[in-house]
Chain A
Amino acid sequence: MLIKELTDLNGVSGNENEVREFIISKIEGLCDSYKVDSIGNIIAFKKGGGGKLKVMLSAHMDEVGFIVSGHSEKGFIRFKAVGGIDDRILPGKKVIVGKKRLSGVIGAKPIHQQEREEREKIAKIRNLYIDIGADSKEEAEKLAPLGEFIAFDSDFVKFGNDCIKAKALDDRVGCAVLIEALKHSFDFELYACFTVQEEVGLRGAQVAAYNVMPDVALVIEGTTCADVPEVDKHEYSTVLGNGAALTIMDRTCYCDRELVQYLYDVAVNNGIKVQYKQTTTGGNDAGQIQRTGNGVKTASISVPCRYIHSPVSVMSGRDYEAVERLTVAALYQMSRDRAFKGGW
């Protein structure tokens, strides 16, 4: 399964090589040409039926993770977070360190040895460390030099009622949708952009969008989903199983209302489950793409993912399918619509 293959790869922001190589191997036969730009984005081009409209699809290849920042005398590794990670989830988790894929663990002080007040206290990442089984500073430096990237160790598992647990669903789901979309041909010029460094500030998309200068952009994402106990209903953001999520506004973007409505109508007309993302928190490449050049009509279509930015993100297979179907259906609809042919 494509999502399994994609989430098994490690691609912490700034180190997307593994993911990039895999994606290139998948799209080589599907597009007219592709290039890897200076920052590491893949820009795949498909000429289509001759229409002049330029449509950009965008999904980021990178995932949150860590980077080696130091070594202790006893051989423990100090590390920093790459992207937004909640310190609270770290103690007692497995990680994969560096190119050699060393197995490591984030240590946690045993409960037996914690004073009462420590039991209530959160360890800050600067006080945490990773154990890779090195016995000395020298050994640790040799096995995991400064700057090596570290990813969560978590496998792809199907469970429950059509659910999937994996790391990096944000945004390998988007990468999978883009690969699928490239199997189709549309009237317009399609640029499928697999971007880097979204998690550290939407860096790759800025460069990719400038390169492409699209008329319309669709960002395909894995977004927050908090439909869990102890969260008030109005703060759910999205609901697992309720289909593709459309963003109106978040921290980085106010999506094009016409385009959002267009996508909503396409979903309804094709019997695809769709929902609006109901919080305005978070942000993604859409914000950066929207403000490129003299502006781009941009919208986001997202797969609701519970517990993103953790090793155990969870999604519904049906929601993924809805996003894939909606993306492809919208592109076909745009192909057919005369309004689109003239450039909206």
Chain B
Amino acid sequence: MGIIQNLEYLSQLVAVPGYEKAAAEKCAGLFKDWCDQVRVDKFFNVVCTRKGTGKAAKKLMITAHIDEIGFLVNSIDEKGFAGLTNVGGIDSKILLAQEVIIHGKQDVLGIIGATPPHLLKAEDAGKAVKLRDIRVDTGYDGQELKKYVSVGDTVSLKSKFNKMNEQKASGKSLDNRASIACLLEILRLLAAVNHENDLIFIASAQEETHLTGVMTAAYELRPDAAIVIDTCHGDIPELPKEVSSTPGKGPEISIGPNLHPKLVAKFFELGKENGIPYQKMVEAGDTGTEAWATQVSANGIPTALLSIPIRYMHTAVETVNIEDIKHTARMVSEFAKLSSEQLGELLCL
């Protein structure tokens, strides 16, 4: 499958934190052709290893989170409407006229309606809706709904995957399935490469809540270095340049205390040597990604962060430029080809 087919497949998986099991198993299915070993751990991290050829092989962990923002059902009323609490950061302003799927005993389609303009009161027209006031219409009455759905059930955003102009696509969960598609592309690029170092690819769980997946996986695996692949904000009219990158111009490589300076410098070098475009992003502290947890896991792991620009993050219409997935994959695969000695030299400060 090509990148876009992989991305479409991955985008349609549901992996709200705590509800990643089925998605992790499907993801493991995609990985297994490219790896020596694949397993799904107790947090539903997908851990996939490719042994290196080196006698003094180092362990390089390459991670991308598989989970997505979503909700939990927190109430069911007698009319069959469900209330929601968020899992991860969601702007309730995008939720009116949004479709969701409640993952109960069976999947139930839910509609978050909006009062039609004909009936909308003037005082409500200008007001942002709050999540606590949102009720999901399931088309069932309360009694029927309770046969299929319970308080605590996971809810995901529903959105089609659409190809757009040129190399672009839109859909749900491109944060961070774009990066999972990138992991697959890296594996494809390395298929015939004899790399010295052991490579561990992780599709990690529970990033959107507390970075729990990568935190526990890194502790268990004790890699010598880590590359985190995530998504960042694509440029849109509302965002200043300092917090956004341009889709199509390659991965955003972060600079700052969260990242290991030598690893970062190496990526810049690899970009220049191989003619791979990239963009720089300065982060003064927490990058808001798994790099934050990885860097201080166990006795510390030198970490770099590459991010694929997507627009409208944490909505059901995230968009990505496929070229950026390719550029990011090339960049990381070049890094993965470093000898154990070269990698070792980078790891001291």
Contact = CB atoms under 8 A, between A and B. Distances in A.
Interface of A: 72, 74, 76, 84-89, 91-94, 102-114, 119-123, 129, 131-135, 139, 143, 153, 155, 157, 159-163, 165, 224, 226-231, 235, 237, 279, 281-282, 306-312, 314
Contacts of A228: 79, 81, 113, 135, 137
Interface in B96-145: 96-99, 108-109, 111-120, 125-129, 133, 135, 137-141, 144
A312 B111 contact: yes
A291 to B, nearest CB: 21
A224 B99 contact: no
Interface of B: 77, 79-81, 89-91, 93-94, 96-99, 108-109, 111-120, 125-129, 133, 135, 137-141, 144, 159-160, 162-166, 168, 170, 233, 235-239, 243, 248, 288, 311-317, 319
Contact of B99 (A76, A119, A230, A312): A312
A282 B139 contact: no
Nearest to B165: A133
Contact of A129 (B89, B119, B237): B237
A133 B313 CA distance: 16
A103 B166 CA distance: 12
A139 B135 CA distance: 40
Contact of A119 (B128, B144, B162): B128
A119 B94 CA distance: 11
B79 to A, nearest CB: 7
A76 B237 contact: yes
A119 B160 contact: no
Contacts of A104: 164
Q: Which of B118, B119, B133 has the largest count of A CB atoms less than 10 A from its CB?
A: B118
Contacts of A114: 91
A133 B111 contact: no
Contacts of A143: 165
Contact of A106 (B162, B237, B317): B317
B99 to A, nearest CB: 6
Given A109-B238, A113-B243, A132 B119 contact: no
B288 A312 contact: no
B135 A108 contact: no
Nearest to B163: A103
13 contacts: A92-B94, A107-B238, A112-B314, A113-B239, A119-B91, A123-B93, A135-B166, A160-B138, A165-B111, A228-B81, A229-B135, A307-B97, A314-B111
Contacts of A312: 97-99, 111-113
Given A84-B117, A94-B170, A306-B113, A165 B97 contact: no
A309 B313 CA distance: 26
A131 B311 contact: yes
Nearest to A114: B91
A49 B14 CA distance: 59
